[in-house]
Structure 1
Amino acid sequence: MNSPRVLLLPGWQNSDAGHWQSRWEALHGYERVQQHDWQRPLRGDWSARLQDTVIDSAQPVVLVAHSLGCILTAWWAAHSPVAKTRVQAALLVAPADVEQAHIRNLLPGWSPLMLLRLPFPSVLVGSQNDPYCTPARTQQMAQAWGSQFVDLGCAGHINTDSGLGDWTDGHALLQSLMKD
């Protein structure tokens, strides 16, 4: 069996150099899916880019999504005929609730949320004090997507500002998910 290709799916405005996704890219050689426009993301463009990347992969993929990347994963998986056969698993971290008024206005075209079960195993990691998603909403997404839920406590948006560094506990979650 081919070892999976790990694809990093950053959220709106990409992940900066101190973000755990960028650190994992440098430490573990994971591949960031580069989007055409990080500042004004279009759901269709981002979905097409993910579709192309997954189809072009010679091996199965594991998705590691943050924030808007989680919303992209759910939308894409509901519409892609290859999601079930090409994606081994997904780690979904700090999804942004694109239905909140202040986020919906910043990211037009991303609402409503896709709340269908994902066709692959997943773990959703949420925070009690994420400014972009309430704990109840995060748990609702996990349940709808069929994801195992992990509560990281008070870790903000689980990004650079959260001070996670290399986030070794998150990487251990990913490794466990890849073994299942």
Structure 2
Amino acid sequence: MSNSNITSATVLIIPGLREHVADHWQTLLAQKLPRVQSVAPLEHDKLSCAARVDAIERALGSIEGPVVVVAHSAGVMMLAHWASRYASRAIHGALLAAPADLETPMPPGYPTIDALNQHGWLPIPRSALPFPSIVAASSNDPLTRLARAREFARAWGSRFVELGDVGHLNPASGFGEWPLAETFISELAKSR
């Protein structure tokens, strides 16, 4: 990235429930950035919201200096839960891409609402986030209706950006690299 602000911030990648996927834009982004860390995949309790939130807290605790978070899908909800429980660390800003609406039934192959509820995901926190954030949402995401993404952004105090028809912004939707992420990260890195 050409912006000097981004080189001073560490970018913390928070993937969704499927964790790290080799050809996902978050993984490709991490390979390009000068200072990056990813929330480590869980060995146990993979569906536990508390375990995911604790993993975010551990990752943040190991970073010195400014942090910009880049969360995708259920990773967005993990960060919302982290902010409602901890917010123990100042975050410069967060890119919240294609948030997964865990309160609405999802397509086959994803956890059910009952399973998510049993593992502490529901309800989704609606408190204003204590850091600047951008919710970037798709108009045809199979995991979140655009109106719901807009509601989340409003509740969290996030700037809302409609991306158009980009599906769930993942390899299945045709996304490997997503250059716009770098633009958003640069904006967030200099937002304070």
TM-score w.r.t. the length of structure 2 is: 0.85
Letter in 1 for 2:164: G
**Cα offset, 1:106, TM superposition:** 5.0
**Cα offset, 1:55, TM superposition:** 2.0
Q: Deviations over 1:30-56 (max 9, x none)?
A: 221113148832111111111122122
Q: Which aligned runs of 4 or more in structure 1 are off by greater than 6 angstroms?
A: none
Aligned-pair Cα RMSD in Å: 2.0
Q: Give 3-state SS (helix, strand or coil) of 1:101's partner.
A: coil
Structure 1 pair 81/24, CA: closer, same or farther in 2 (3 Å)? closer
Q: Give 3-state SS (helix, strand or coil) of 1:58's partner.
A: coil
State the match for 1:82 in structure 2: 88
State the match for 2:182 in structure 1: 171
Structure 1 pair 106/20, CA: closer, same or farther in 2 (3 Å)? farther
Q: Deviations over 1:17-36 (max 9, x none)?
A: 11100001112142211131
Q: Contact 2:12 / 2:67 at 8 angstroms: preserved in 1?
A: yes
State the match for 1:118 in structure 2: 129
Q: Deviations over 1:2-27 (max 9, x none)?
A: 92211000001113111100001112
Task: Tell me which protein shows more helix as a share of its residues.
Answer: 1
Deviates more, 1:159-168 or 1:122-131: 159-168
Where relative contact order (Cα < 8 A, 6+ residues apart) is larger, the structure is: 2
State the match for 1:127 in structure 2: 138
Q: Contact 1:55 / 1:82 at 8 angstroms: preserved in 2?
A: no
TM-score w.r.t. the length of structure 1 is: 0.91
- Percent identical pairs in the alignment equals 35
Q: Contact 2:14 / 2:39 at 8 angstroms: preserved in 1?
A: yes
Query: Mapping of 1:1-180 within 5 angstroms?
Result: 3-29=8-34, 30-37=36-43, 40-83=46-89, 86-102=90-106, 103-105=112-114, 107=116, 108-180=119-191
**Cα offset, 1:76, TM superposition:** 0.5
